[in-house]
Structure 1
Amino acid sequence: MCAQPLEVAVEAHVRFIEANLGNAGLYPGTQRLEKEVVRAIGGMLHHEGAGGSIVSGGTEANITALWIARNVTRRKKVVFPKSAHFSFHKACDILGLEPQMVGLDEKFTADLDEVKRVVDNDVCAIVGIAGTTELGAVDDIEGLGALLPDGAFLHVDAAFGGFVLPFLDHGPPKFDFAVPEVSIITIDPHKMGMSTIPAGALMLRDEGQMRTIRKDAPYLDTVGQAAALSGTRCSAAVASTYAAMRFLGEEGYVKLVKGCMDVTRYALEKGTGIGLEPVMDPVMNILCFYAPDVVRIQSEMEKQGWKVSVARNPESLRLVIMPYVTRDSVDGLFADLEEVLGGLDD
């Protein structure tokens, strides 16, 4: 799900390859770039005054988000759907939190009735997913916000969807700071943001809450460590993200996402044309099809030189249509897939 980065993003990354944002006193330029990137992402997510930091990716951002939620609320429970990324299980293990995992509804989004049943005054955060890893489904973030206990956080994991949903042409669902209850958002520039790895972002409505995880390190050129799990931080990813966002701008991202969605819809037509049933109408550039013996299909397709993944909930073939995927490559993939399907009974 990570993108082939833009050339300008790679060039910027290389220029800052030695800089450590964890000691920003030695590298003040990268700290200024980080503030510009955070401001730009905040504006994209309907809150130009948002605080935040560039981190290594969605896993670090999700762990840090729950770290902040725990420290602010002093509560122990986290509610998240079965579709949530595995990093939430890691976070609960590391932070000593109690996971309250809820099921999915018929749209493969968090079941609000189940959420309502499990929330209580010991919940530090409810998690909603804006673009699930397997299906690209978007939880009802406004609905989750309505169930939020007083003082609890609403954290949105938009690691993949964050650079897709704002640029869709068919009225995307509200998922960001436009929803008043949303406290923290995870978003990954190294996915559809077209930056280099490792570039994730942790965005907060209230920047002051980052102080709850601050640890002093007076031996550094800066007084203390800002809100980050990592000590050494990759300045190159900050510069790369800055370059990618400045190069593309809103118009560029709209064009990029439109291209991916056009190819996604084309792949949907090709799949149904050979008798496959989609799991759901794609919200973004992730497409899954029901198929018999998906693990065997995956293996046979790999022999043909194709990398297709398998979703587990529900079991299905999964395609992620990144910007480098073309209609020609889709034609080739489904031609080989049709042949593989025809040989399953052999």
Structure 2
Amino acid sequence: MDKQSGRILQSSLEQLQEWRKSFGNWESAPSLQVPDERVQSVFDNLVERLKCNYPFHHPVYAGQMLKPPHPLTWAAYALASTINPNNHALDGGPPSSEMEKEAVAKLARFFGYGDDYLGHLTASGTIANLEALWVARESHPGKKILFSENAHYTHERMCKVLGMESQKITTLENGLFDLNSINPDEIGTIVVTLGTTGLGTVEPLEQVLPWARKHDIRIHIDAAYGGFFRALKDSKLLESRAWSLMQEADSIVVDPHKHGLQPYGCGSVLFKDPLAGRFYKHDSPYTYFTSEDLHLGEISLECSRAGAAAVAFWTTLELFPLEEDKGFGPILAQCRKAALLFYDLLSQSSKLKAYQKPELDIVGYFPSAPSTSKVSTRAKEVFEAGMRKKEFYVSLYRVPVSTFTRVHPEVEANSDEVTILRSVFMKPEHEGFVEELLQKMETYC
């Protein structure tokens, strides 16, 4: 927490305390009290245990999709948590429910859905994708879900949960889907990932759209990681046309707890056709009484959900607009520039090579070596050395050897898989750190 967020949280807590007092004086029950010495002991232990985390807050960490929320976002979440509203029904949190509706409306307009849509926040991208696939099943019963080999494993797993058949589609060397290998009569929905969690690949939405429309197949966009990059759709930083076509999809998932500056867990799902709400129709004997307005629990599979998550996201969007030139745009531009700069630096390195050009802010790369087995060995050595010395934190990524040697035929294939290095530059501060990161990594190659 920085000084600004600490100051605003303290003053806001004081204001909220005045509201609490307006209902009359009261004292906490003795059973809820804990001696100061015990509290200090437990929290000292807590702090020491939390120090065992990797430094997600610092640019030296470029491993997984992890970073702390924005300090002001955290302050808003902490403030709302003192009330602990539940966004299932308006009974549980009228203000936080309204804030969720307002925040989701901004998301819908951001993705081009306008004002006629259905959507809400979720506890995670997994739950958001589960809901999207559930609506896909209800919309096209008996039909398969189609997704690529690079799609997140949640799609295959959730299809099993939902009792649906799924099918994987091959991605060709040029990045397009092998649609000719698919019988469209068997498919109800195709998933297109804009920003795969492996290497940030942007899948070919522009190819899928006419094919899906021709065969009356729904399109679901999994933009859990990459969705907020749409803020840069009109800039020169992104090459794919997919970002300008997202409004054509039937449903979209994006995770505010990834590039949306939020704490875990905050996902979201949007449906272009508000009639998707008919699949959620249900009643409850003890909720939905305080208002005739829409209760969020009436359009979600989840019941209890943290109202604090909605408050934090609403606050974030008030402070950081979903625009290219202010708010989210400049933040994401720095992340993207960090990846491009790192890619350029790799082209000049004699010790590390880029696996492929990054499409977002995730870069795959590997130590120079004559064979795939040695690439894997050296990659693991660099990965472990960085953590052991606490100098840098990156991640590993496994690639089928046939895929690897297609891109790098100069490397002898003598293994089934190749383990390469992977860095996620999702902090804007990474732009000024990647040169130092490369220098540190080269000392262990």
Q: Do both proteins adopt the same fold according to a TM-score greater than 0.5, normalized to the shorter chain?
A: yes
Determine the C-alpha separation between the residues in 2 that align with 1:28 and 1:327. 41
Percent of aligned positions that are identical = 24
Q: What letter matches 1:240 in structure 2?
A: A
Determine the C-alpha separation between the residues in 2 that align with 1:176 and 1:51. 20
Determine the C-alpha separation between the residues in 1 that align with 2:280 and 2:288. 19
| Residue 349 (structure 2) pairs with residue 283 (structure 1) | no
Name the structure 1 match of 2:421.
Answer: 317
Name the structure 2 match of 1:297.
Answer: 382
Larger displacement relative to structure 2 (8-17 or 127-136): 8-17
SS in 2 for 1:22: coil
Map residues 58-73 of structure 1 onto 2, 5 A cutoff: 58-73=125-140
Quote the offset at 1:324 in angstroms. Answer: 5.0
Name the structure 1 match of 2:335.
Answer: 260
Aligned residue among 331, 349, 358 for 1:274 = 349
Q: Which consecutive unaligned segments of at least 5 residues does structure 2 have?
A: 1-64, 290-294, 368-374, 405-418
Determine the C-alpha separation between the residues in 1 that align with 2:347 and 2:244. 37
Q: Which consecutive unaligned segments of at least 5 residues does structure 1 have?
A: 342-346
Determine the C-alpha separation between the residues in 1 that align with 2:90 and 2:254. 23
SS in 2 for 1:5: coil
SS in 2 for 1:97: coil
Quote the offset at 1:218 in angstroms. Answer: 2.5
SS in 2 for 1:202: strand
Relative to structure 1, the CA distance from residue 173 to residue 326 in structure 2 (aligned partners, 3 Å threshold; closer, same or farther) is: closer
Determine the C-alpha separation between the residues in 1 that align with 2:338 and 2:243. 26
Name the structure 1 match of 2:171.
Answer: 104
| Residue 411 (structure 2) pairs with residue 335 (structure 1) | no
Aligned residue among 228, 242, 248 for 1:163 = 228
Map residues 207-246 of structure 1 onto 2, 5 A cutoff: 207-222=274-289, 225-246=297-318
Map residues 129-144 of structure 1 onto 2, 5 A cutoff: 129-144=193-208
Aligned residue among 24, 28, 37 for 2:90 = 24
Determine the C-alpha separation between the residues in 1 that align with 2:68 and 2:274. 31
Quote the offset at 1:269 in angstroms. Answer: 2.8
Determine the C-alpha separation between the residues in 2 that align with 1:290 and 1:176. 29
Quote the offset at 1:38 in angstroms. Answer: 1.3
Map residues 18-57 of structure 1 onto 2, 5 A cutoff: 18-49=84-115, 50-57=117-124
Relative to structure 1, the CA distance from residue 3 to residue 87 in structure 2 (aligned partners, 3 Å threshold; closer, same or farther) is: same
Determine the C-alpha separation between the residues in 2 that align with 1:176 and 1:259. 18
Q: What letter matches 1:13 in structure 2?
A: Y
Determine the C-alpha separation between the residues in 2 that align with 1:227 and 1:264. 38
Relative to structure 1, the CA distance from residue 56 to residue 27 in structure 2 (aligned partners, 3 Å threshold; closer, same or farther) is: same
CA contact (8 A) 2:338 2:432 kept: no
Quote the offset at 1:224 in angstroms. Answer: 8.9
SS in 2 for 1:326: helix
Q: What does the per-residue CA deviation read over 1:245-271, in whole Å, with 9 as the maximum and x for residues that have no partner?
A: 111112121111121122222222332
Larger radius of gyration: 2
Q: What does the per-residue CA deviation read over 1:196-244, in whole Å, with 9 as the maximum and x for residues that have no partner?
A: 2211110110122032134322222357932323211121111111111
Q: What does the per-residue CA deviation read over 1:140-196, in whole Å, with 9 as the maximum and x for residues that have no partner?
A: 112112222644320001111111133252155343684564100011111111122
The structure whose RCO (Cα within 8 Å, separation 6+) is larger is 1
Q: What letter matches 1:125 in structure 2?
A: T
SS in 1 for 2:259: coil
SS in 2 for 1:191: helix
Give TM-score scaled by structure 2 length: 0.71
CA contact (8 A) 1:3 1:192 kept: no
Give TM-score scaled by structure 1 length: 0.90
Q: What does the per-residue CA deviation read over 1:32-83, in whole Å, with 9 as the maximum and x for residues that have no partner?
A: 1111111101111112223201011211111110000001111231110011
CA contact (8 A) 1:77 1:97 kept: yes
Q: What letter matches 1:204 in structure 2?
A: F
Determine the C-alpha separation between the residues in 2 that align with 1:42 and 1:164. 14
Quote the offset at 1:278 in angstroms. Answer: 1.7
Name the structure 2 match of 1:186.
Answer: 253
Q: What letter matches 1:301 in structure 2?
A: G
Q: CA RMSD in A?
A: 2.2
Which protein is richer in helix relative to its size? 2
CA contact (8 A) 1:69 1:152 kept: no
Larger displacement relative to structure 2 (78-87 or 276-285): 276-285
Name the structure 2 match of 1:344.
Answer: none
Q: What letter matches 2:366 in structure 1?
A: Y
